[in-house]
Amino acid sequence: MRAVRPDLSPPHSPRVVADAREPECGAGEALVRVTRVVLTPADAACVEHGHFRGVLGSQFAGVIKKINVPDGAPASISARKGWMGKRVVAAPSIACASCDLCRGGLSVHCRARKVLGIHDRDGGLCDMVSVPLGALHLVPDSVDDQCAPFAHMVSGALHAANMLRSEQKSFITVLGDSASALVCAQVLARMNAAVRLLSPRTDRLRLCERWGIKHRAIDEPGRRQDQDVVVDCTGSSAGLALALQMVRPRGIVLLKDPAAQRPISLGSAGLGHGWKTPVDLSPAVVNEVQILGSRDGPMPDALRMLSEQAVDVGALITRRMKLEDAPEALRLMATGEPAAIVIEVA
102 near Zn ion, judged by CB under 5 A: yes
Q: Which is nearer to Zn ion, 114 or 262 (CB)?
A: 114
Element (H, E) at 232: strand 227-232
Stretch that binds Zn ion, among 100-108, 164-172, 183-191, 337-345 (CB under 5 A): 100-108
Query: Which among 229, 251, 281, 261 is positioned nearest to 333, based on CA atoms?
Result: 261
CB of 57 to Zn ion, least distance (A): 23
> Which of 198, 339, 188 lies closest to 269, judged by CA?
198
Nearer to Zn ion, 102 or 151 (CB): 102
- Cβ 304 to Zn ion, closest distance in Å? 27
Instruction: Give how many residues touch Zn ion by CB under 5 A.
Output: 5
Assess 292 for contact with Zn ion (CB under 5 A): no
CB of 153 to Zn ion, least distance (A): 24
What is the rounded distance in angstroms from the CA atom of residue 259 to the CA atom of residue 42?
Answer: 8
Phi-psi region of 66 (alpha: psi -120 to 50; beta: other; left: phi over 0): beta
C-alpha 149/C-alpha 145 separation (Å) is: 7
Instruction: Tell me how far apart the alpha carbons of residues 252 and 167 are, in angstroms, rounded to a whole number.
Output: 15
Please, which residue, 73 or 97, has the CB nearer to Zn ion? 97
Handedness of CA 80, 85, 89, 93 (dihedral sign): positive
The Cα–Cα gap between 86 and 79 comes to: 13
Classify 328 in phi/psi space as left (phi over 0), alpha (psi -120 to 50) or beta.
alpha
- Report if residue 108 touches Zn ion, rule: CB under 5 A: no
Site string for Zn ion, 76-95 (x = CB under 5 A): -------------------x
Asked if residue 96 binds Zn ion (CB under 5 A), the reply is: yes
Binding segment for Zn ion among 108-116, 209-217, 225-233, 271-279 (CB under 5 A)? 108-116
With CB under 5 A as the contact rule, the residue among 110, 148, 244, 246 that binds Zn ion is: 110
CA-CA distance, 116 to 64, in Å (whole number)? 16
Nearer to Zn ion (CB atom), residue 100 or residue 220: 100
> Which CB, 28 or 272, lies closer to Zn ion?
28
Binding of residue 115 to Zn ion (CB under 5 A)? no
CB-closest chain residue to Zn ion: 110
Q: Which of 20, 73, 99, 163 binds Zn ion (CB under 5 A)?
A: 99
Cβ contact 264:227 at 8 Å: no
Q: Which is nearer to Zn ion, 2 or 114 (CB)?
A: 114
Residue 241: CB atoms within 10 A of its CB come to 20
Footprint on this chain of Zn ion (rule: CB under 5 A): 95-96, 99, 102, 110
